[in-house]
Structure 1
Amino acid sequence: MAQVPPGQIVTERFPILTYGEEPRIPKEAWRFELFGLVEAPFTLTYADLLALPQVELTRDFHCVTRWSRLDVVWRGVRVRDLLERAQPRPEAVAALAYCYGGYTTNLLLEDLLREDVLLAHTLFGKPLPPERGGPVRLLVPHLYAWKSAKWVRGIELLDRLELGFWEKLGYHWRGDPWREERFQEGPVPAASLRFRSKKT
Protein backbone atom coordinates (compact mmCIF):
# COMPACT_ATOMS: atom_id res chain seq x y z
CA MET A 1 0.00 0.00 0.00
CA ALA A 2 1.27 3.48 -0.82
CA GLN A 3 2.28 5.72 2.02
CA VAL A 4 -0.44 8.14 3.10
CA PRO A 5 -0.40 11.07 5.53
CA PRO A 6 -0.92 10.34 9.22
CA GLY A 7 -4.50 9.85 10.35
CA GLN A 8 -5.78 9.07 6.83
CA ILE A 9 -7.66 5.96 5.65
CA VAL A 10 -7.38 4.87 2.01
CA THR A 11 -10.69 4.37 0.19
CA GLU A 12 -11.59 3.18 -3.30
CA ARG A 13 -14.64 5.42 -3.14
CA PHE A 14 -14.42 9.11 -4.00
CA PRO A 15 -16.79 10.86 -1.55
CA ILE A 16 -18.43 14.13 -2.55
CA LEU A 17 -18.55 16.76 0.17
CA THR A 18 -20.17 20.10 -0.54
CA TYR A 19 -21.25 22.89 1.80
CA GLY A 20 -24.39 24.65 0.60
CA GLU A 21 -25.99 24.44 -2.81
CA GLU A 22 -24.12 23.03 -5.79
CA PRO A 23 -23.54 25.68 -8.46
CA ARG A 24 -24.32 24.74 -12.06
CA ILE A 25 -22.20 26.80 -14.43
CA PRO A 26 -22.44 26.13 -18.18
CA LYS A 27 -19.04 25.92 -19.81
CA GLU A 28 -19.86 28.81 -22.12
CA ALA A 29 -20.67 31.00 -19.10
CA TRP A 30 -17.61 30.09 -17.02
CA ARG A 31 -15.01 32.81 -16.52
CA PHE A 32 -11.75 32.83 -14.56
CA GLU A 33 -10.00 36.03 -13.49
CA LEU A 34 -6.43 36.38 -12.23
CA PHE A 35 -6.07 39.77 -10.57
CA GLY A 36 -4.80 41.66 -7.54
CA LEU A 37 -1.06 42.30 -7.13
CA VAL A 38 -0.14 41.43 -10.71
CA GLU A 39 1.22 43.49 -13.58
CA ALA A 40 -1.00 41.94 -16.24
CA PRO A 41 -4.43 40.83 -14.94
CA PHE A 42 -6.54 38.78 -17.34
CA THR A 43 -9.75 36.80 -17.72
CA LEU A 44 -10.17 33.38 -19.36
CA THR A 45 -13.16 31.68 -20.92
CA TYR A 46 -13.47 27.90 -20.93
CA ALA A 47 -12.39 27.87 -24.58
CA ASP A 48 -9.38 30.01 -23.68
CA LEU A 49 -8.42 27.51 -20.97
CA LEU A 50 -8.58 24.55 -23.37
CA ALA A 51 -6.40 26.44 -25.86
CA LEU A 52 -3.53 26.72 -23.37
CA PRO A 53 -0.82 24.04 -22.87
CA GLN A 54 -2.39 21.09 -21.05
CA VAL A 55 -0.99 18.81 -18.37
CA GLU A 56 -2.19 15.36 -17.29
CA LEU A 57 -1.03 14.09 -13.93
CA THR A 58 -1.81 11.46 -11.33
CA ARG A 59 -1.90 12.53 -7.69
CA ASP A 60 -3.32 11.30 -4.40
CA PHE A 61 -6.18 13.30 -2.89
CA HIS A 62 -6.45 13.78 0.88
CA CYS A 63 -9.56 15.05 2.64
CA VAL A 64 -9.41 16.63 6.10
CA THR A 65 -12.25 14.28 7.10
CA ARG A 66 -9.58 11.52 7.06
CA TRP A 67 -10.12 9.70 3.76
CA SER A 68 -7.55 9.50 0.97
CA ARG A 69 -8.14 8.45 -2.63
CA LEU A 70 -4.96 7.36 -4.37
CA ASP A 71 -3.91 7.76 -8.02
CA VAL A 72 -6.49 10.27 -9.17
CA VAL A 73 -5.95 11.33 -12.80
CA TRP A 74 -6.47 15.00 -13.62
CA ARG A 75 -6.01 17.16 -16.70
CA GLY A 76 -5.81 20.93 -16.83
CA VAL A 77 -3.58 23.98 -16.98
CA ARG A 78 -0.74 24.72 -14.57
CA VAL A 79 -1.53 27.68 -12.35
CA ARG A 80 2.20 28.43 -12.44
CA ASP A 81 1.89 29.15 -16.18
CA LEU A 82 -1.02 31.50 -15.55
CA LEU A 83 0.92 33.31 -12.85
CA GLU A 84 3.87 33.72 -15.18
CA ARG A 85 1.53 35.39 -17.66
CA ALA A 86 0.06 37.65 -14.96
CA GLN A 87 3.50 38.66 -13.57
CA PRO A 88 3.05 38.82 -9.78
CA ARG A 89 4.38 41.96 -8.12
CA PRO A 90 7.27 41.56 -5.64
CA GLU A 91 5.00 42.20 -2.65
CA ALA A 92 2.60 39.38 -3.57
CA VAL A 93 2.98 36.55 -1.04
CA ALA A 94 -0.48 34.99 -0.75
CA ALA A 95 -3.72 34.52 -2.65
CA LEU A 96 -7.44 34.14 -2.18
CA ALA A 97 -9.32 31.80 -4.50
CA TYR A 98 -12.93 32.72 -5.32
CA CYS A 99 -15.61 30.29 -6.45
CA TYR A 100 -19.09 30.34 -7.92
CA GLY A 101 -21.44 29.93 -4.97
CA GLY A 102 -19.43 32.24 -2.72
CA TYR A 103 -16.76 29.87 -1.40
CA THR A 104 -13.22 31.15 -0.83
CA THR A 105 -9.96 29.63 0.33
CA ASN A 106 -6.52 31.13 0.97
CA LEU A 107 -3.16 29.89 -0.29
CA LEU A 108 0.45 30.95 -0.26
CA LEU A 109 1.86 32.09 -3.58
CA GLU A 110 4.65 29.54 -3.18
CA ASP A 111 2.04 26.77 -3.03
CA LEU A 112 0.35 27.99 -6.21
CA LEU A 113 3.71 27.98 -8.00
CA ARG A 114 4.21 24.22 -7.58
CA GLU A 115 4.28 22.27 -10.85
CA ASP A 116 1.29 20.05 -9.99
CA VAL A 117 -1.19 22.78 -9.04
CA LEU A 118 -3.79 23.01 -11.79
CA LEU A 119 -6.97 24.55 -13.00
CA ALA A 120 -8.44 21.11 -13.64
CA HIS A 121 -11.24 20.47 -16.14
CA THR A 122 -10.93 16.70 -16.63
CA LEU A 123 -11.10 13.81 -14.14
CA PHE A 124 -10.18 10.24 -15.14
CA GLY A 125 -10.38 11.23 -18.80
CA LYS A 126 -13.87 12.75 -18.64
CA PRO A 127 -15.05 16.37 -18.29
CA LEU A 128 -15.17 17.34 -14.63
CA PRO A 129 -18.79 16.89 -13.50
CA PRO A 130 -20.58 19.64 -11.54
CA GLU A 131 -20.65 17.66 -8.30
CA ARG A 132 -16.84 17.46 -8.43
CA GLY A 133 -16.45 21.17 -9.10
CA GLY A 134 -16.92 21.31 -12.85
CA PRO A 135 -16.51 22.83 -15.25
CA VAL A 136 -13.22 23.85 -13.57
CA ARG A 137 -11.77 23.42 -10.09
CA LEU A 138 -8.50 24.31 -8.48
CA LEU A 139 -6.28 21.32 -7.74
CA VAL A 140 -3.69 21.69 -4.95
CA PRO A 141 -2.83 18.02 -4.29
CA HIS A 142 -0.12 18.58 -1.66
CA LEU A 143 -2.64 20.21 0.71
CA TYR A 144 -5.92 18.97 2.18
CA ALA A 145 -8.75 18.84 -0.34
CA TRP A 146 -10.63 21.90 0.90
CA LYS A 147 -7.83 23.95 -0.67
CA SER A 148 -8.66 22.41 -4.08
CA ALA A 149 -11.60 24.76 -4.46
CA LYS A 150 -14.50 23.58 -6.61
CA TRP A 151 -16.18 25.84 -9.22
CA VAL A 152 -13.24 28.23 -9.17
CA ARG A 153 -13.78 31.60 -10.83
CA GLY A 154 -10.77 33.66 -9.79
CA ILE A 155 -7.52 34.06 -7.89
CA GLU A 156 -6.52 37.35 -6.28
CA LEU A 157 -2.87 37.89 -5.28
CA LEU A 158 -2.34 39.69 -1.98
CA ASP A 159 0.46 41.06 0.20
CA ARG A 160 -1.01 39.39 3.30
CA LEU A 161 -2.77 36.24 4.38
CA GLU A 162 -6.53 36.74 4.18
CA LEU A 163 -8.48 33.74 5.47
CA GLY A 164 -11.08 31.95 3.36
CA PHE A 165 -14.40 30.32 4.27
CA TRP A 166 -13.29 27.25 6.25
CA GLU A 167 -10.20 28.98 7.61
CA LYS A 168 -12.41 31.62 9.26
CA LEU A 169 -14.33 28.76 10.89
CA GLY A 170 -11.22 27.27 12.48
CA TYR A 171 -9.57 25.15 9.80
CA HIS A 172 -5.80 25.53 9.53
CA TRP A 173 -4.55 28.49 7.51
CA ARG A 174 -2.39 26.21 5.31
CA GLY A 175 -3.61 22.59 5.56
CA ASP A 176 -0.56 20.36 5.04
CA PRO A 177 -1.77 16.74 5.44
CA TRP A 178 1.71 15.43 6.27
CA ARG A 179 1.76 17.72 9.30
CA GLU A 180 -1.93 17.05 10.09
CA GLU A 181 -2.72 20.74 9.85
CA ARG A 182 -6.45 20.18 10.18
CA PHE A 183 -7.43 22.93 12.62
CA GLN A 184 -5.78 26.17 13.62
CA GLU A 185 -3.97 26.26 16.93
CA GLY A 186 -2.31 29.53 17.84
CA PRO A 187 -2.11 32.77 15.87
CA VAL A 188 -2.33 32.99 12.10
CA PRO A 189 0.96 34.39 10.72
CA ALA A 190 -0.65 37.21 8.73
CA ALA A 191 1.67 39.97 9.90
CA SER A 192 4.93 38.13 9.18
CA LEU A 193 3.72 36.99 5.75
CA ARG A 194 3.26 40.59 4.71
CA PHE A 195 7.02 41.02 4.66
CA ARG A 196 7.96 37.77 2.96
CA SER A 197 9.09 37.54 -0.62
CA LYS A 198 8.48 34.61 -2.93
CA LYS A 199 12.20 34.74 -3.69
CA THR A 200 13.28 34.02 -0.10
Structure 2
Amino acid sequence: MLGKFFKKPSGDNSRVPPGQSLTERFPVLTYGPVPTLKPENIEIRISGLAESRIFTWHELMDLPQTTHTYDIHCVTHWSKLDTTWTGVSIPTLMQHLKLDPAATAVMVHCYGGYTTNLLMDDFNRDLNLLAHTFDGKPLEKDHGGPLRLVVPHLYFWKSAKWVSGFEFLSIDQPGFWERNGYHMRGDPFKEERFDD
Protein backbone atom coordinates (compact mmCIF):
# COMPACT_ATOMS: atom_id res chain seq x y z
CA MET A 1 0.00 0.00 0.00
CA LEU A 2 1.51 3.30 -1.10
CA GLY A 3 -0.44 5.59 1.22
CA LYS A 4 -1.24 9.21 0.51
CA PHE A 5 2.40 10.38 0.45
CA PHE A 6 3.65 8.04 -2.30
CA LYS A 7 2.47 7.51 -5.85
CA LYS A 8 3.47 5.26 -8.71
CA PRO A 9 5.06 7.16 -11.62
CA SER A 10 2.61 7.69 -14.46
CA GLY A 11 3.36 7.25 -18.15
CA ASP A 12 6.88 6.60 -19.39
CA ASN A 13 9.00 8.27 -16.72
CA SER A 14 12.58 7.28 -17.53
CA ARG A 15 13.85 9.22 -14.50
CA VAL A 16 12.27 6.77 -12.05
CA PRO A 17 14.05 3.41 -11.56
CA PRO A 18 12.09 0.14 -11.54
CA GLY A 19 10.18 -0.63 -8.35
CA GLN A 20 10.16 2.97 -7.09
CA SER A 21 7.29 5.20 -5.97
CA LEU A 22 7.41 8.99 -6.07
CA THR A 23 7.14 11.19 -3.01
CA GLU A 24 7.10 14.94 -2.54
CA ARG A 25 8.15 14.49 1.08
CA PHE A 26 11.65 13.62 2.26
CA PRO A 27 11.35 10.44 4.36
CA VAL A 28 13.81 10.03 7.23
CA LEU A 29 15.44 6.62 7.50
CA THR A 30 18.36 6.27 9.88
CA TYR A 31 19.99 3.36 11.65
CA GLY A 32 20.91 4.34 15.19
CA PRO A 33 20.65 7.65 17.03
CA VAL A 34 20.79 11.00 15.26
CA PRO A 35 23.91 12.91 16.37
CA THR A 36 23.73 16.58 17.26
CA LEU A 37 26.72 18.23 15.63
CA LYS A 38 27.75 21.87 15.44
CA PRO A 39 29.20 22.93 12.09
CA GLU A 40 32.29 24.42 13.72
CA ASN A 41 33.11 21.00 15.23
CA ILE A 42 32.88 19.09 11.95
CA GLU A 43 36.12 17.54 10.70
CA ILE A 44 36.66 15.44 7.60
CA ARG A 45 39.61 13.10 8.13
CA ILE A 46 41.48 11.77 5.11
CA SER A 47 43.20 8.41 5.69
CA GLY A 48 44.30 5.17 4.08
CA LEU A 49 46.04 5.39 0.71
CA ALA A 50 46.25 9.17 0.79
CA GLU A 51 48.31 11.74 2.63
CA SER A 52 46.65 12.15 6.01
CA ARG A 53 44.95 15.46 6.61
CA ILE A 54 41.91 17.00 8.26
CA PHE A 55 39.50 19.48 6.69
CA THR A 56 37.76 21.74 9.18
CA TRP A 57 34.30 23.16 8.54
CA HIS A 58 35.81 26.56 7.80
CA GLU A 59 38.28 25.07 5.31
CA LEU A 60 35.43 23.30 3.52
CA MET A 61 33.38 26.51 3.40
CA ASP A 62 36.39 28.33 1.90
CA LEU A 63 36.46 25.90 -1.05
CA PRO A 64 34.36 26.65 -4.15
CA GLN A 65 30.69 25.80 -3.52
CA THR A 66 28.51 24.05 -6.09
CA THR A 67 24.73 23.69 -6.43
CA HIS A 68 23.13 20.77 -8.26
CA THR A 69 19.52 19.69 -8.79
CA TYR A 70 18.88 15.99 -9.29
CA ASP A 71 16.70 13.01 -8.41
CA ILE A 72 17.37 10.75 -5.43
CA HIS A 73 16.32 7.13 -4.97
CA CYS A 74 16.08 5.17 -1.73
CA VAL A 75 16.49 1.39 -1.56
CA THR A 76 13.19 1.33 0.40
CA HIS A 77 11.40 2.09 -2.90
CA TRP A 78 10.86 5.87 -2.78
CA SER A 79 12.20 8.43 -5.23
CA LYS A 80 12.16 12.21 -4.89
CA LEU A 81 12.63 14.28 -8.04
CA ASP A 82 14.32 17.65 -8.53
CA THR A 83 16.09 17.97 -5.18
CA THR A 84 18.57 20.86 -4.91
CA TRP A 85 21.79 20.59 -2.92
CA THR A 86 24.74 22.90 -2.28
CA GLY A 87 28.18 21.93 -1.05
CA VAL A 88 31.72 21.06 -2.06
CA SER A 89 31.93 18.85 -5.12
CA ILE A 90 33.98 15.71 -4.60
CA PRO A 91 36.26 16.52 -7.57
CA THR A 92 36.99 19.90 -5.92
CA LEU A 93 37.88 18.15 -2.67
CA MET A 94 40.04 15.63 -4.54
CA GLN A 95 42.14 18.46 -5.99
CA HIS A 96 43.40 19.06 -2.44
CA LEU A 97 44.37 15.43 -1.74
CA LYS A 98 47.55 13.50 -2.42
CA LEU A 99 46.32 10.05 -3.38
CA ASP A 100 48.25 6.82 -3.84
CA PRO A 101 47.58 5.49 -7.38
CA ALA A 102 46.77 2.11 -5.80
CA ALA A 103 43.54 3.52 -4.33
CA THR A 104 40.53 1.98 -6.09
CA ALA A 105 37.81 2.43 -3.46
CA VAL A 106 36.72 4.65 -0.57
CA MET A 107 35.25 3.80 2.81
CA VAL A 108 33.04 6.67 3.95
CA HIS A 109 33.13 7.12 7.74
CA CYS A 110 30.45 8.96 9.70
CA TYR A 111 29.87 10.38 13.15
CA GLY A 112 28.04 7.63 15.02
CA GLY A 113 30.03 4.83 13.39
CA TYR A 114 28.15 4.29 10.11
CA THR A 115 30.23 3.35 7.06
CA THR A 116 29.57 2.76 3.39
CA ASN A 117 31.85 1.90 0.48
CA LEU A 118 32.24 3.39 -2.99
CA LEU A 119 34.45 2.54 -5.92
CA MET A 120 36.64 5.47 -6.97
CA ASP A 121 34.72 5.79 -10.26
CA ASP A 122 31.49 6.18 -8.26
CA PHE A 123 33.06 8.53 -5.70
CA ASN A 124 34.96 11.03 -7.82
CA ARG A 125 32.10 12.30 -10.02
CA ASP A 126 31.11 15.86 -10.83
CA LEU A 127 27.59 15.57 -9.38
CA ASN A 128 28.71 14.15 -6.03
CA LEU A 129 28.71 16.66 -3.17
CA LEU A 130 29.67 17.08 0.44
CA ALA A 131 26.40 18.92 0.98
CA HIS A 132 25.47 21.36 3.74
CA THR A 133 22.38 22.96 2.13
CA PHE A 134 19.13 21.41 0.88
CA ASP A 135 16.62 23.46 -1.13
CA GLY A 136 18.33 26.69 -0.07
CA LYS A 137 18.32 25.99 3.67
CA PRO A 138 20.93 24.52 6.03
CA LEU A 139 20.64 20.74 5.99
CA GLU A 140 18.52 19.50 8.91
CA LYS A 141 20.21 17.05 11.26
CA ASP A 142 17.66 14.28 10.52
CA HIS A 143 18.79 14.45 6.90
CA GLY A 144 22.49 14.40 7.73
CA GLY A 145 23.15 17.98 8.70
CA PRO A 146 25.35 19.78 9.03
CA LEU A 147 27.23 17.77 6.35
CA ARG A 148 26.43 14.69 4.31
CA LEU A 149 27.60 13.01 1.14
CA VAL A 150 25.25 13.03 -1.85
CA VAL A 151 25.82 10.39 -4.55
CA PRO A 152 22.70 10.74 -6.72
CA HIS A 153 23.39 7.93 -9.22
CA LEU A 154 23.31 5.22 -6.52
CA TYR A 155 20.71 4.22 -3.93
CA PHE A 156 20.62 6.79 -1.16
CA TRP A 157 22.22 4.63 1.56
CA LYS A 158 25.48 5.42 -0.27
CA SER A 159 24.82 9.14 0.39
CA ALA A 160 26.07 8.85 3.95
CA LYS A 161 24.83 11.24 6.62
CA TRP A 162 27.09 13.06 9.12
CA VAL A 163 30.30 12.33 7.22
CA SER A 164 33.51 12.39 9.29
CA GLY A 165 36.08 11.01 6.86
CA PHE A 166 37.19 9.25 3.72
CA GLU A 167 39.50 6.23 3.90
CA PHE A 168 41.08 5.33 0.57
CA LEU A 169 41.54 1.60 -0.07
CA SER A 170 43.24 -0.67 -2.60
CA ILE A 171 40.36 -3.19 -2.44
CA ASP A 172 36.63 -2.46 -2.21
CA GLN A 173 35.40 -3.48 1.24
CA PRO A 174 31.83 -3.62 2.58
CA GLY A 175 30.48 -0.93 4.87
CA PHE A 176 27.67 -1.28 7.42
CA TRP A 177 24.70 -2.15 5.20
CA GLU A 178 26.87 -4.04 2.71
CA ARG A 179 28.01 -6.37 5.54
CA ASN A 180 24.32 -6.86 6.35
CA GLY A 181 23.19 -8.02 2.92
CA TYR A 182 22.97 -4.89 0.79
CA HIS A 183 24.57 -4.76 -2.64
CA MET A 184 28.19 -3.59 -2.81
CA ARG A 185 27.36 -0.93 -5.45
CA GLY A 186 23.63 -0.09 -5.41
CA ASP A 187 22.65 1.09 -8.90
CA PRO A 188 18.89 1.87 -8.71
CA PHE A 189 18.31 1.40 -12.42
CA LYS A 190 19.70 -2.14 -12.15
CA GLU A 191 17.77 -2.69 -8.87
CA GLU A 192 20.99 -3.56 -7.05
CA ARG A 193 19.29 -3.62 -3.68
CA PHE A 194 20.69 -6.76 -2.08
CA ASP A 195 23.70 -9.00 -2.50
CA ASP A 196 22.85 -12.09 -4.56
User: Bigger CA drift: 143-152 or 3-12?
Assistant: 3-12
TM-score, length-scaled by structure 2: 0.91
User: 1:124 and 2:135 equivalent?
Assistant: yes
Question: Offset at 1:87?
Answer: 2.6
Question: Offset at 1:41?
Answer: 2.9
Q: Which of 112, 131, 151 matches 1:101?
A: 112
| Percentage of identical aligned residues | 52
Q: Cα RMSD between the aligned structures?
A: 1.0
Residue 192 of structure 1 aligns with which residue? none
Q: Which of 28, 31, 35 matches 2:43?
A: 31
User: 1:12 and 2:33 equivalent?
Assistant: no
TM-score, length-scaled by structure 1: 0.89
Q: For residues 64 and 99 of structure 2, what CA distance do their matches in structure 1 show?
A: 20
Q: Which of 137, 144, 163 matches 1:133?
A: 144
Q: For residues 98 and 14 of structure 1, what CA distance do their matches in structure 2 show?
A: 23
Question: Offset at 1:46?
Answer: 1.2
> How many residue pairs were aligned?
184
Secondary structure (helix, strand or coil) at the match of 2:130 reads strand
Q: For residues 64 and 28 of structure 2, what CA distance do their matches in structure 1 show?
A: 29
**Counterpart of 1:25 in structure 2: which amino acid?**
L
Secondary structure (helix, strand or coil) at the match of 1:111 reads helix
Q: For residues 109 and 88 of structure 1, what CA distance do their matches in structure 2 show?
A: 11
Q: For residues 83 and 26 of structure 1, what CA distance do their matches in structure 2 show?
A: 24
1:1-200 paired onto structure 2 within 5 Å: 2-3=13-14, 4-38=16-50, 40-185=51-196
Question: Offset at 1:69?
Answer: 0.3
**Counterpart of 1:5 in structure 2: which amino acid?**
P
Runs of 4+ in structure 1 off by over 6 angstroms are none
